[in-house]
Amino acid sequence: MNRLTLAASALALGALPATAQEARDVLDTYANIAEAAYGDSHHTALALKAAIHELVTDPSQDKLEAARAAWISARVPYQQTEVFRFGNPIVDDWEGRVNSWPLDEGLIDYVDASYGGPTDENEAAVVNVIGHPSFSLSGQTVDASEISTDLLADVLHEAAGVEANVATGYHAIEFLLWGQDLNGHGPGAGNRPWTDFAVGDSCTGGNCDRRAAYLLAATGLLVDDLEWMAAQWAEGGAAREAVLADETAGLTAILTGMGSLSYGEQAGERMRLGLMLNDPEEEHDCFSDNTHNSHYYDGMGVRNVYLGEYVRTDGTLVSGPSLSDLVSAKDPALDAEMQAKLDTTMAALGAIRTAAEQGFAYDMMLERGNAQGEDLVMAGVDGLIDQTRSIERVVAALGLNGVSIEGSDSLDAPDAVFQ
Amino acid sequence: MRPALVALCVTLSTPVLAQDQAEVITDVVQNHVMPRYAALDEAAAKLDAAAQSDCHPESDDLRAAFNEAFDTWIGVSHLRFGPSETDDRAYALAFWPDPRGDTPSALRSLIAAEDPVVVSQKGYAEVSIAARGFYPLEFLLYDEEFATLAPESYRCALVQAIARDIAANAAAIYADWTGDYATLLQSPGENAAYRSAADVIQEFYDALGAGLEFTSDSRLARPMGSFDDPKPARAEARRSGRSLRHVQLSLAALSDLSARLAPSGSVAQDLEAAFEQAERLAAGLGDPIFAGVATPEGRFRVEALKTSVDRISALVNEELGPALGVAAGFNAADGD
């Protein structure tokens, strides 16, 4: 084949959508990253469970701190999975059990008087199930004498159809490990005493046995849920199969996840809103003050799936053919633009993280009139919004135009229209 | 039969030409966006004037000015890009839905502390968005608890501060549009924000989609709740009896935008028919604050209205998008 023909065929190829094989390889990498990241989330949750078991068996300040450290470690791989949420219904339908936020924590345990009472939106905002073996919910009496996984997952979670009734997942566990952060915009996170888990007369906050039982049950559920999701992404699992079933839909799932997490969820709901409300509790990890890390690893997850790379918690690199390769083959300038935007966002999220590690916590950044905090947070918001514009251009460049993101009968099952 | 069908689809989905795109952009900017933001600016200034002359919650003039200004806001509430997003202006005009009750709690804190931040416009612009804009003002004018909270002098100052802040935001948005944003949209390719006419069309298309989604998900689905657990208290602006009115005003605005975007032919006809259907159901509902969602019959009627709005969204995705050569983009309501 001479040079001219080669150039001509490359041109011809460039005008076509990605070949099925290329797209399939990219989707494989995507599913491999999901499997690894959910697998890591499962393993770090097991370590958290072990630390919590230690805490409730033999409570002490050291054991409480070890459990908190295990929780923070467990967040690192999990936050990098959030990019799989919005494009994959199997993840989105499940996610509420694992990472629901924000929560009306008074549902679970005692709270400070400043928390207030039931609201127009949530009659169960102050149920305090740890303190009450029996209580009334939507007109029914609930027997909570035994704190079981069924009680948490089936009765309390999203009770009365209110999303703020979060009884399971990372943030319920976070609340039990740290307690409310009562420092407002000042320094300091939640400061639950270890004696909230002590036995006998040393018990503070009352009902220490029920608190321990709640913590164990919630952690057990988290471990099981993560194990299940990791299996869905393994060879033959439902999530992997769904992504691989159709190249166009699979690529759309990747980009939908990147765009929806970047824009509406992270830039909007989790960052800009908190800044605009000046509310120190409007931060993703409000009890532990770990929000800077949660935002950072969310951003990293978006970049991971574009570059086709994920560094596992043991340091192993999972990588393969990527969306970046596909885009680069069609429009190298757009790929460079996308990568640069992702890097800009990571630098901005990194600056928030560095500042927080130096003692300028995320909730302090949200204070009314705090210009430095606003600048730091808004740089992250701007980066995320800006990268969403490039994600839209990638959608167009890959010829995914016209694919309904919501899905609909007439597109997904054209034959059904004629039946 | 199959080959013919495929051929038909290809013809229908041929994207509009570049020169047509430029005409569409000019039409949308000059006849949809600009007059609506001008109306908001004017009505917000009147609201401010009314509040400064009589801050009493039951003042007829103040309430009339409030309702008129709120109407004009709903008419632009789908246009969430550019000047409305600078300095969080749109958020500060309209913080809703409010699932955690941030608005009443922010107002209570200000009133309890008699926070002196109300004295300056610049100061009030730093306050939580939950205490700024139309929704907290509605609480102060129409909610029984807030209309009587002591001390009255502070409440008055607060009403005036919010009205002044609304007017300043509306004026700033309109000033930016007349300043250079209208020109920017009409000269894509010469700026970084819009690289081509297609980028601008995408922006309008996203606004249409996001507006429909907001009306369906927030204005209608939220008060509907579930069959066993309806949530009429979540209806938008129910204290001032404006919930259904907002659905109607938003449909009218979105219908206008849709008609300007859709190329003539079957896509335009389908969309027009779908909007007419939704507007007819809304006009015949006779339930201004969706109180009826608590009964099976009332709920069924609100649900029918919601279905008709979702039908428009489906047409926008499946017919208008391909006709314009754009795909559904991302909007601020994505996520959960």
Closest partner residue to A164 (CB to CB) among B100, B128, B334 is B100
Closest partner residue to B331 (CB to CB) among A264, A391, A395 is A264
Q: Is the pLDDT of residue A208 over 50?
A: yes
Q: Is the pLDDT of residue B3 over 60?
A: no
Tokens of A329: 């083959």
Start-to-end CA span in chain B (Å)? 42
List CB contacts of A325: < 8 A, sequence separation 6 or more. Answer: A22, A26, A308
Burial class (CB in 10 A: 0-12, 13-18, 19+), A201: exposed
Tokens of B24: 């569409």
Least confident of B34-43, B58-67, B327-336: B327-336
Residue B226 near chain A (CB below 8 Å): yes
CB atoms within 10 A of CB A3: 7
Residue B127 near chain A (CB below 8 Å): yes
CB-hemisphere CA count at 13 Å for A214?
32
Q: Which pLDDT belongs to residue A8?
A: 34
Could you give all domains of chain A from N- to C-terminal order, each with its CATH number? 18-103+166-397 (1.20.1420.20)
Q: Is pTM, for the whole model, over 0.90?
A: no
Tokens of B128: 């939580």
Q: Is the pLDDT of residue B192 over 50?
A: yes
Of B329, B207, B22, B299, give the one whose Cα is nearest residue A385: B329
Indicate the CATH number for domain B196-336: 1.20.1420.20
Identity at B93, one-letter amino acid code: L
Least confident of A16-20, B17-21, B244-248, B298-302: A16-20
Burial class (CB in 10 A: 0-12, 13-18, 19+), A205: middle
Region B237-244: mean pLDDT is 97
Percent of chain B residues past pLDDT 90, beyond the cut = 77
Region B70-96: mean pLDDT is 95
Residue A269 near chain B (CB below 8 Å): yes
In our burial notation (b when 16+ CB lie closer than 10 A, e otherwise), range A19-56 reads eeeebebbbbbbbbbbbbbbbbbbbbbbbbbebbbbbb
Q: Which pLDDT belongs to residue A115?
A: 80
Percent of chain A residues past pLDDT 70, beyond the cut = 90
Q: Which pLDDT belongs to residue A4?
A: 34
What distance in Å separates the CA atoms of residue A56 and residue A219, rounded to the nearest whole number?
A: 12
Q: B151: cis peptide before it, omega within 30°?
A: yes
Backbone angles phi, psi at A177, to 5 degrees: -85, -35
Region B312-322: mean pLDDT is 94
Region B315-320: mean pLDDT is 94
pLDDT greater at residue A102 or residue A222:
A222
List CB contacts of A223: < 8 A, sequence separation 6 or more. Answer: A42, A45, A46, A49
A223-267 pLDDT, tens digit per residue, is 999 999 999 999 999 999 999 999 999 999 999 999 999 998 999
What distance in Å separates the CA atoms of residue A257 and residue A251, rounded to the nearest whole number?
A: 10
Query: Across the strands, what pairs with A143?
Result: A134
Q: Which pLDDT belongs to residue A145?
A: 96
Q: How confident is the model at residue B76 (pLDDT cuts 50, 70, 90)?
A: very high
Which 340-369 residues of chain A touch chain B by CB within 8 A? 368-369
Helix (H) or strand (E) holding B43: helix B34-53
Q: Which residue of A has its CA nearest to B128?
A: A277
Question: Which chain A residues are closer than 8 Å to B314 by Cβ?
Answer: 408, 410
Which 77-136 residues of chain A touch chain B by CB within 8 A? 86, 102, 116, 119-121
Q: Which pLDDT belongs to residue A138?
A: 79
Region B293-298: mean pLDDT is 92
Q: Best interface-test mutation with B: which of A401, A408, A409 has the largest number of B CBs within 10 A? A: A401
Closest partner residue to A410 (CB to CB) among B101, B318, B330 is B318
Mapping DSSP onto H, E and C, the string for chain A reads CCHHHHHHHHHHHHHCCCCHHHHHHHHHHHHHHHHHHHHHHHHHHHHHHHHHHHHHHCCCHHHHHHHHHHHHHHHHHHHCCHHHCCCCHHHHHHHHHHHCCCCCHHHCCCCCHHHCCCCCCCCCCCCCCCCCCEEEECCEEEECCCCCHHHHHHHHCCHHHCCCCCCCCHHHHHHHHHCCCCCCCCCCCCCCCHHHHCCHHHCCCCCHHHHHHHHHHHHHHHHHHHHHHHHHHCCCCHHHHHHHCCHHHHHHHHHHHHHHHHHHHHHHHHHHHHHHHCCCCCCCCCCCCCHHHHHHHHHHHHHHHHHCEEECCCCCEEECCCHHHHHHHHCHHHHHHHHHHHHHHHHHHHHHHHHHHCCCCHHHHCCCCCHHHHHHHHHHHHHHHHHHHHHHHHHHHCCCCCCCCCCCHHHHCHHHHCC
Q: What is the interface size between A and B, counted as CB pairs within 8 Å?
A: 108
What distance in Å separates the CA atoms of residue A85 and residue A354, rounded to the nearest whole number?
A: 27
Q: Which pLDDT belongs to residue A259?
A: 94
**Residue B325, Ramachandran bin (φ over 0: left; ψ between -120 and 50: alpha; else beta):** left
Q: Is the pLDDT of residue A412 over 70?
A: no
Cα of A51 to nearest chain B Cα, Å:
31
**Residue A372, Ramachandran bin (φ over 0: left; ψ between -120 and 50: alpha; else beta):** alpha
- Grouping H, G, I as helix, E, B as strand and the rest as coil, residue B255 is helix
Cα of B39 to nearest chain A Cα, Å:
26
Helix (H) or strand (E) holding B173: helix B152-176
What distance in Å separates the CA atoms of residue A181 and residue A186, rounded to the nearest whole number?
A: 10
Let me know: does B257 contact B31? Beta carbons within 8 Å: no
Region B80-93: mean pLDDT is 94
Q: Which pLDDT belongs to residue B228?
A: 82
Least confident of A38-52, A134-148, B66-80: A134-148
Contact B233 A120 (CB under 8 A): yes
Q: Which pLDDT belongs to residue A283?
A: 87
Least confident of A126-135, A409-418, B77-86: A409-418
Burial class (CB in 10 A: 0-12, 13-18, 19+), A337: middle
A122-142 pLDDT, tens digit per residue, is 888 889 999 999 999 878 899
What distance in Å separates the CA atoms of residue A157 and residue A165, rounded to the nearest whole number?
A: 6
Residue ranges of the domains in chain B?
56-191, 196-336
- Grouping H, G, I as helix, E, B as strand and the rest as coil, residue B77 is coil
pLDDT greater at residue A402 or residue A377:
A377
Residue B84 near chain A (CB below 8 Å): no
pLDDT greater at residue B231 or residue B289:
B289
Tokens of A412: 């997904």
Q: How confident is the model at residue A25 (pLDDT cuts 50, 70, 90)?
A: very high
Of A243, A277, A220, give the one whose Cα is nearest residue A27: A243
Q: Which pLDDT belongs to residue A400?
A: 85
Residue in this structure with the two tokens 């494009």, named with its chain if needed:
A87
Least confident of A342-346, B144-148, B331-335: B331-335
Contact A276 B327 (CB under 8 A): no
Residue A272 near chain B (CB below 8 Å): yes
Percent of chain A residues past pLDDT 90, beyond the cut = 74
Contact A264 B332 (CB under 8 A): yes
Total residue length of chain B: 336
What distance in Å separates the CA atoms of residue B211 and residue B278, rounded to the nearest whole number?
A: 14
Closest partner residue to A278 (CB to CB) among B99, B128, B332 is B128
What distance in Å separates the CA atoms of residue A242 and residue A88, rounded to the nearest whole number?
A: 8
Residue B234 near chain A (CB below 8 Å): yes
B99-145 pLDDT, tens digit per residue, is 888 899 899 889 989 999 999 999 999 999 999 999 999 999 999 88
Region A295-310: mean pLDDT is 98
Q: How confident is the model at residue A26 (pLDDT cuts 50, 70, 90)?
A: very high
A261-285 pLDDT, tens digit per residue, is 999 899 988 998 889 998 887 888 9
Q: Which pLDDT belongs to residue A198?
A: 97
What distance in Å separates the CA atoms of residue B2 and residue B25, rounded to the nearest whole number?
A: 36
Question: Which chain B residues are closer than 8 Å to A404 by Cβ?
Answer: 317-318, 321, 328
Residue in this structure with the two tokens 């409570």, named with its chain if needed:
A59
Closest partner residue to A268 (CB to CB) among B105, B128, B335 is B335
Question: Which chain B residues are closer than 8 Å to A261 by Cβ?
Answer: 335
Start-to-end CA span in chain A (Å)? 50
Region B227-251: mean pLDDT is 94
Tokens of A113: 């008087």
Question: Which chain A residues are closer than 8 Å to B321 by Cβ?
Answer: 401-402, 404
What distance in Å separates the CA atoms of residue A123 and residue A135, rounded to the nearest whole number?
A: 12
Q: Which pLDDT belongs to residue B15?
A: 52
DSSP B51-66: HHH---TT-HHHHHHH
- Grouping H, G, I as helix, E, B as strand and the rest as coil, residue B299 is helix
List CB contacts of A74: < 8 A, sequence separation 6 or more. Answer: A41, A44, A45, A47, A48, A170
Cα of A20 to nearest chain B Cα, Å:
21
Q: Best interface-test mutation with A: which of B8, B107, B336 has the largest number of A CBs within 10 A? A: B336
Q: Which pLDDT belongs to residue B101?
A: 85
Contact A268 B332 (CB under 8 A): yes
Q: Is the pLDDT of residue A193 over 70?
A: yes
